[in-house]
């Protein structure tokens, strides 16, 4: 799954270099422990033809305006099921987004308890930022919501947790955002995964378990 992530690269840099967006509005401070339930940065198609992108701030927790008031607000969506799930299939077809992240946390079950790990790009990676595959929908006429897609973990990460977020190669970003690409197999074919050899990981302090802790020391190897 994916329940916490970091974003320390300036949004201005990501927006300009990857999506050709020259202004992002209010700047953000580096975040080292982003939890669910709050607005997060996400890029989505600017129009129905997918010719440009906009920076949105959806709430991380998928609960569209048509959902039951007492319904769930999942933060993750299983990639294996989104094309047929009544809750996600419309968003998978037409409302996909990309959540920028410098890394994410995952917890490994050990005899002494759950040990958090930080998963990020290698220090010499040319991109410096991950793009996590997501889905979005409207909560009301002003606010959107989103969920991050997950899939079975690769051998690189499988010893930590059985699932991981879908991390896309930036080269396929425009295809992923394009709402004209709406057939299940076409979307899946276009969604090129990031080479897992580009990832680095290490155990970190259990301080990350508390969302209020949000500082660079959370990323230090423990």
pLDDT at 189: 93
Q: Per-residue pLDDT for 149 more than 90? A: yes
Query: Which of 79, 72, 56 lies closest to 2 in space, CA to CA?
Result: 79
Please tell me which residue, 211 or 70, carries the higher pLDDT value. Answer: 211
DSSP label at residue 40 = -
What does each C-alpha distance from 43 to 5, 73, 129, 152, 203 come to in angstroms?
16, 20, 13, 24, 30
Give the mean model confidence (pLDDT) for residues 49-54.
77
Write down the mean pLDDT value for the chain: 94
pLDDT at 46: 87
To which residue do tokens 């793009």 refer?
Answer: 131
Provide CATH code, domain 5-219: 3.90.1680.10
| Percent of the chain clearing pLDDT 70 (strictly above) | 98
Please tell me which residue, 22 or 165, carries the higher pLDDT value. Answer: 165
pLDDT at 24: 83
Residues paired with residue 121 on neighbouring β-strands, in sequence order = 199
Query: Which of 120, 148, 118, 155 lies closest to 134 in space, CA to CA?
Result: 148
Cβ contact 85:172 at 8 Å: no
- Give the separation between CA 148 and CA 97, rounded to whole angstroms: 9
- Give the separation between CA 80 and CA 153, rounded to whole angstroms: 13
- Give the separation between CA 70 and CA 61, rounded to whole angstroms: 14
Query: Which of 2, 38, 80, 11 lies closest to 212 in space, CA to CA?
Result: 38
pLDDT digits (tens, 9 = 90+) for 16-29: 999 999 888 777 89
Cβ contact 118:160 at 8 Å: no
- 186-193 long-range contacts, Cβ below 8 Å, gap at least 24? 187/83, 187/92, 187/93, 187/96, 188/83, 191/133, 191/166, 192/168, 193/166, 193/167, 193/168, 193/169
């Amino acid at each position: 799954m994916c329940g916490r992530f970091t974003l320390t690269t300036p949004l201005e840099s990501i927006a300009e270099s990857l999506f050709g967006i020259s202004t992002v509005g209010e700047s953000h401070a580096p975040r080292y422990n982003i939890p669910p339930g709050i607005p997060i940065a996400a890029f989505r198609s600017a129009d129905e033809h997918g010719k440009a992108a906009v920076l949105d701030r959806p709430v991380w927790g998928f609960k569209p305006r048509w959902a039951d008031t007492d319904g769930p607000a999942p933060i993750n969506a299983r990639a294996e099921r989104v094309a047929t799930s009544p809750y996600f299939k419309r968003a998978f077809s037409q409302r996909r987004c990309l959540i920028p992240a410098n890394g994410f946390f995952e917890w490994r079950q050990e005899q002494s308890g759950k040990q958090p790990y930080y998963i990020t790009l290698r220090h010499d990676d040319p991109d410096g930022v991950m793009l996590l595959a997501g889905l979005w929908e409207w909560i009301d006429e002003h606010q959107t919501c989103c969920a991050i897609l997950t899939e079975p973990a690769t051998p690189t990460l499988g010893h930590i947790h059985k699932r991981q977020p879908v991390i896309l190669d930036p080269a396929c970003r425009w295809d992923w955002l394009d709402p004209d690409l709406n057939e299940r197999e076409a979307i899946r074919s276009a969604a090129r995964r990031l080479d897992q050899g580009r990832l680095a990981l290490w155990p970190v302090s259990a301080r990350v378990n508390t969302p209020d802790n949000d500082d660079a020391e959370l990323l230090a190897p423990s």
